[in-house]
Chain A
């Protein structure tokens, strides 16, 4: 007779709640690599623990670190890595000056989930289905990494490597995410269910007021969300003509590696790209108070 597998009890876990970034790094360093999990909002980590996808024996919680911040400095925004997404969503400046970011944050999970989930956690996790990474790409966001030796900055494009793989080094923590300027922007997605679902495909666009050029990024694709420079160029500078939007959509549909899975067929995803791109561009061009 087959034996039942005996699962190690969750009680074997230990949790640390350091009060400073230095203590957090020390608590991480003290555990063997692969056996320590950093806890921000926990909305993914707890599901991993529940389904035994995590081998973590030690949890290091970041909740006492002073990183729940939101700072506007002129046109640029710095978002503390452990700020709950809900605080970002409810900030009037985010809604009016970075509408694409607002829309993407609003698309994550549900209100109670967003009270805990964080931008830092989403980036550290770097899931291909992340609704936040495409818009961070379109906004040219930078990740600020904290280490004992100092701080380094990396574009989100270079930080996100592949599905669940990032450029974070051992001994580093994400301290904040910086967005250089307010931009007309939009995020459009397609799903089966409105909330608590994973996007079949998502498109983020942003128009930089400083160089008048567009940024286009597509998410919901393996292994990671990508920027589409050619499609962005096809949109030209400023408000594009209808034909340019269509051409950008065609270029994007060709450039993106798509797969079929249980959420959608490859063909359906390919068609979605142009549609979502057109909707996003139209939305980004809607007049809004305080943008630019």
Chain B
């Protein structure tokens, strides 16, 4: 069964993968098999949010997800987030507010916030959005600007 072919939709394109080891993580499939290096590896143990992607529209930690587990699913990474109107608003808000320094955490924040806004809709209170990003860490202490970007993205999608 391990040798079977996996078919994922990644950023709107079909990805047909043969011989994916059972223990391979989605994070590694994206970065090393598919060359999508926008998704970052921070801790690899679920503690930082840098590896966040959308699986069927829901934010997921790609370091804690086996690629076999998303067979048949649609995966969206930072590379394609702006092709979604909500994702574009989020990306633009981060850019306008200067909500990054080194940028390592940014793909995770942008994808996670896009997922939250899509899941919770226009009426989600700002506090709920900020709370929903607690699992994303930024080592450059850019949280004030990030919080500004969250507010701006929320207003832009409302």
Contact = CB atoms under 8 A, between A and B. Distances in A.
B21 A13 contact: yes
A109 B131 CA distance: 12
B4 to A, nearest CB: 10
B69 interface: yes
A27 to B, nearest CB: 9
Interface stretch (A40-48, A152-160, A224-232, A244-252): A40-48
Contacts of B59: 111-112, 115
A63 B72 CA distance: 12
Of A16, A111, A116, chain B has the most CB atoms within 10 Å of the CB of A111
A86 B134 contact: no
A10 B59 CA distance: 26
Interface in B10-54: 21-25, 44-49, 52
Interface string A83-126: 00010001000000000000000000111110110000000000
Contact of A14 (B1, B60, B134): B1
B85 interface: no
A43 B64 contact: yes
Contact of A61 (B23, B47, B69, B132): B69
A109 B135 contact: yes
B118 to A, nearest CB: 12
A11 interface: yes
Contacts of A9: 21
Interface residues of A, number: 31
A15 B68 contact: yes
B117 to A, nearest CB: 12
A120 to B, nearest CB: 15
A216 interface: no
A90 to B, nearest CB: 8
Contacts of B119: 90
A39 interface: yes
Contacts of A265: none
Interface of B: 1-2, 21-25, 44-49, 52, 55, 58-61, 63-66, 68-69, 71, 112, 115-116, 119, 132-136
Given A13-B21, A110-B61, A110-B136, 18 more contacts: A10-B24, A13-B2, A39-B69, A42-B64, A46-B46, A46-B64, A47-B45, A49-B23, A50-B45, A61-B66, A111-B115, A111-B135, A112-B58, A112-B115, A112-B135, A115-B55, A195-B135, A196-B135
